[in-house]
Chain A
Amino acid sequence: MQIWDCTAVELSEQIKQGKLKVAEVLEAVYRRIEQTKDLNCFITLDKEGAFQRAAKVQEQIDKGELTGPLAGVPFAAKDNICTKGMRTTCASRILEHFVPAYDAEVIRRLEEAGGVLIGKTNMDEFAMGSTSETSYFGAVKNPIRPEYVPGGSSGGSAAAVAAGACMYTLGSDTGGSIRQPASHCGVVGLKPTYGRVSRYGLVAHACALDQIGPITRNVTDCAAVLSAICGYDEKDSTSMARPEEDFMGALIRDVKGMRIGIPSNYLDGIINGEVKAAVWFVARQLELAGAVVEQFDLKYTEYAVPAYYTIASAEASSNLERYDGIKYGWRCEDYKDLQSLYRRTRSEGFGAEVKRRIMLGTFVLSAGYYEDYYLQALKVRALIKQAFDEAFEKYDLILAPVSPKTAPKLGESLGHPLKLYPDDVYTVSANLAGIPAISIPCGEDSKGLPIGVQLMADCFQEKKLLQAAYTYEQERMGYE
């Protein structure tokens, strides 16, 4: 077995046992990155820095100071997560040369756990998109079939893990940006409960919806990364203080008696037949393992995407105001006064999709429309949250598709945003309701493209989520 075929937890074990050196693992990873260069998974790589860091981590492991499940394992972060001294571009021209003077809290925590940061992954510009094609640094390709997209916006993070170019990565999820690319690339992606993981250092897309989460080979790695990055951070007012939880302890193969609901309205309409069949198959397997699975009617699902785009665009229009060519980032070449500096910098610095969303967001917040659109979206959000609260009174988990179809071909959907927006229907609700949701591979379609299935739980019920996901993963391995 190649080094790059191993999971993070397996590798760390071998390193701690002295069978492998951190530097050897790094060598293998960089070799694999070189081999898979054409996928365009990375925007920035810091080989020199990583080897320096590896030496230090090795020393700590040898001294027995680092014993955790991720000690010595390389990782990469989506390029909207700030890294001190390493440029953080959000895949945008406007931040092409931006080097943060601070680390995101998740980076600090992973380094504390013995992680070795190797670089930054490609993504949709400012995390706006679901194909990873809107990047200023070029589109990412799906490692399974390179003429297809990897999904997005965390496409580079998902593709890197699927391609073996990294053991695990961090993504960010505002409306499905971790789960959907994980599904399209055949890996595991988790969006934690809103407030579970500190957003400090995550470049904001929509503050009310954004969460950082892991993209991994399997559920065990997912639990390990979540354990490392979760927890209250005094630098993020929206992070929540929770009693310490051991997510590794949730890796139990047991779903007996678990009540699992499938929203029946998710299985009508735009869903592709192969995807639908895959979801049913998962339901059957969970049932065989002892879970009680039934369909139910989840209210307001048809309003989730419009509410999502209204809220996310509005917040994005405000969050992206700071990119003006004055304090950091790119400034346009010729300008005659302050107004033209602002306008040119922003017009030339942002890509088409970002500008579209800024325009929509600005509009829904503007005088005369605020109440009808933005405020109405917040009210609809309240209704959606209520619908989930009611569902979780009856069910431990919700089982759902991740995306109505598998990955589209590269270039197929660019420039036609409205064609893609409805496909976010199964993922955006978790962000609106703040609940945790995980995407796990469950098969492939006739083209050989991966299909993922989604499990959702009530707020802060990640343990339940991981336990069911782990059980399914084990059942599936047994089956195959």
Chain B
Amino acid sequence: MTNTVACNKSMIDEYTVEHVGVLAQLELTAAQKRQAREDMAGMVAYVEKLRELNTEGIEPLAHLFPVGNVFREDEVMVFDGRKEMLEGAPQCRDNLYVVPRTIDEA
């Protein structure tokens, strides 16, 4: 398993840090990127231990209890705090939330 850790260090390269930063919408300075790379390499090396275990045939446990089918009925419930929600927005106009212009991809 010493191999895994070794390959792991190279796995967290600059590109990975850059890519993960883009996905997570975080802007990092050069120094922060270096730090992030170090932190991530350390954290990944730490969780790498999981891969030691043979989990063949084990179902991933995403939902704790074997309970399903939790529903609400299709009935309208009006929320009365809509005004407060709008007032809490960093920028809104005519009851719309304002953002810098997007190229509409819809």
**Chain A residues in the interface with B (C-beta under 8 A):** 84, 98-99, 101-102, 194-195, 208, 234, 237-238, 240, 300, 302-303, 306-307, 309-310, 313, 317, 321, 324-331, 335-344, 346-347, 350, 355-356, 358-360, 362-364, 366, 372-373, 375-383, 385, 417-418, 421, 434, 459
- B102 near A346 (CB under 8 angstroms)? no
Residue from B27, B36, B46, B55 in contact with A418 in the complex, judged by beta carbons closer than 8 Å: B46
Residue from B19, B47, B90, B99 in contact with A364 in the complex, judged by beta carbons closer than 8 Å: B47
Q: Which residues of A contact B21 (CB under 8 A)?
A: 359
Q: Which residues of B contact A343 (CB under 8 A)?
A: 25-27
User: Shortest beta-carbon distance, B21 to chain A, in Å?
Assistant: 7
Instruction: Classify the interface of chain A: helix, strand, loop or mixed.
Output: helix
- B60 near A101 (CB under 8 angstroms)? no
- Pair count A-B, CB < 8 A: 162
A232 to B72, CA, bound (A): 13
Residue from B23, B39, B88 in contact with A362 in the complex, judged by beta carbons closer than 8 Å: B23
- B84 near A379 (CB under 8 angstroms)? no
Q: Which residues of B contact A102 (CB under 8 A)?
A: 81
Residue from A234, A329, A344 in contact with B90 in the complex, judged by beta carbons closer than 8 Å: A329
A372 to B4, CA, bound (A): 12
User: Shortest beta-carbon distance, A239 to chain B, in Å?
Assistant: 9
A326 to B67, CA, bound (A): 36
- A303 near B49 (CB under 8 angstroms)? yes
28 intermolecular pairs with C-beta atoms under 8 Å apart = A98-B88, A101-B85, A102-B81, A195-B65, A208-B63, A240-B67, A302-B49, A306-B47, A310-B47, A327-B85, A327-B88, A336-B100, A338-B99, A341-B99, A346-B24, A346-B25, A358-B26, A359-B21, A363-B44, A366-B19, A373-B44, A373-B50, A376-B53, A376-B55, A377-B47, A385-B61, A417-B43, A418-B43
Q: Which residues of A contact B59 (CB under 8 A)?
A: 379, 382
